[in-house]
């Protein structure tokens, strides 16, 4: 399946080559650019740099990982003498170019990222959920949502621990960590804005989700699918896992993260009084 539209590829090749512009790339510089993206694509000539790059991108247009690596390299500070400041000048034109194909690029603390969305704005596959979980962009979003900077760093550490557990095959711990992460995030954003939560002696993930949904800050689909995260978080108690007869695997972790990412997306769009 094609990742980018053919017109997007043509405009992307123009932007990368930048013929006659301040960032014009010679054949050798194009080769080094592609090498930086992990592509092995010897220049064949003599058709010219832009037509050659168009054809080169087309040959890899069914490889999502390769296309993402290419897009990331365009905004990578290591590609430019001016570093991050110069790389940022490409973020806006790249996002205007890629919007219709569902991609977004950017920099988080000087590190390039690429995010791909489906039509409804959410990750479209478990592979994309995995990429979102590991992305700098998700960590930047957490920092923008959480009012307590120290707590935000704890939550980002929790994200890293969930990812490490998933990669190590510790799937129950990753599921439990997922529930812990979203409860911590919701507690911060709700405590700041919901008087009932502030007055509550104790809170639970169920209460936080229901309150956010009732106030319209989390939509119905994210709220309903998040219930499985709440249930599976209870596997912190071995008897609960035994009772349900479930053995989580890698897909279980990512399926729990799909509604979590939806909750985060809803909070970004609907939460009042964000910084």
- 131 and 101 in one domain? no
The residue out of 55, 85, 116 marking a domain boundary is: 116
Res 157: pLDDT = 95
Decide if pLDDT at 61 tops 50.
yes
* Across 237-263, average pLDDT: 89
The residue out of 84, 116, 148 marking a domain boundary is: 116
Query: What pTM, to 2 d.p., does this model score?
Result: 0.57
Count: domains in the chain? 2
End-to-end CA distance of the chain: 40
- 87 and 11 in one domain? yes
The residue out of 91, 116, 141 marking a domain boundary is: 116
Res 125: pLDDT = 63
Res 275: pLDDT = 52
Work out the pLDDT band at 67, boundaries 50, 70, 90: very high
* Across 10-39, average pLDDT: 94
What is the domain extent for residue 227?
126-270
pLDDT single digits (tens) 174-193: 999 999 999 999 999 999 99
**What percent of the chain lies above the pLDDT cut of 70?**
95
- 223 and 149 in one domain? yes
Alpha helix (H) ranges present in the chain? 6-17, 27-36, 49-59, 64-74, 83-88, 91-98, 126-134, 136-145, 149-168, 171-193, 195-199, 205-214, 220-225, 227-233, 238-244, 250-270
Q: Do the domain assignments include residue 1? A: no
Q: Do the domain assignments include residue 121? A: no
- 231 and 250 in one domain? yes
């Amino acid at each position: 399946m094609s990742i980018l539209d053919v017109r997007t590829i043509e405009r992307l090749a123009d932007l990368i080559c930048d013929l006659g512009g301040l960032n014009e790339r010679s054949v050798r510089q194009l080769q080094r650019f592609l090498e930086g993206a992990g592509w092995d694509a010897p220049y064949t000539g003599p058709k010219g740099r832009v037509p050659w790059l168009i054809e080169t991108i087309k040959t890899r247009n069914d490889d999502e990982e390769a296309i993402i690596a290419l897009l990331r390299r365009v905004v990578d500070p290591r590609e430019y003498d001016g570093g991050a400041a110069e790389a940022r000048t490409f973020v806006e034109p790249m996002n205007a170019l890629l919007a219709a194909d569902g991609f977004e690029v950017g920099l988080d603390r000087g590190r390039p990222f690429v995010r791909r969305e489906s039509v409804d704005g959410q990750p479209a596959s478990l592979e994309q959920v995995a990429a979102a979980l590991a992305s700098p962009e998700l960590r930047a979003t957490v920092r923008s949502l959480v009012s307590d900077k120290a707590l935000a760093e704890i939550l980002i550490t929790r994200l890293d621990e969930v990812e490490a557990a998933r990669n190590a095959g510790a799937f129950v711990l990753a599921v439990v960590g997922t529930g812990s992460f979203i409860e911590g995030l919701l507690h911060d954003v709700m405590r700041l804005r919901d008087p009932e939560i502030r007055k509550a002696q104790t809170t639970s993930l169920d209460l936080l989700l229901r309150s956010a949904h009732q106030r319209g800050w989390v939509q119905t689909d994210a709220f309903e699918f998040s219930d499985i995260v709440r249930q599976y978080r209870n596997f912190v108690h071995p008897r609960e896992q035994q009772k349900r007869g479930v053995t989580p695997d890698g897909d279980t972790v990512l399926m729990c993260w799909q509604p979590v990412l939806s909750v985060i997306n809803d909070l970004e769009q609907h939460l009042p009084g964000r910084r």
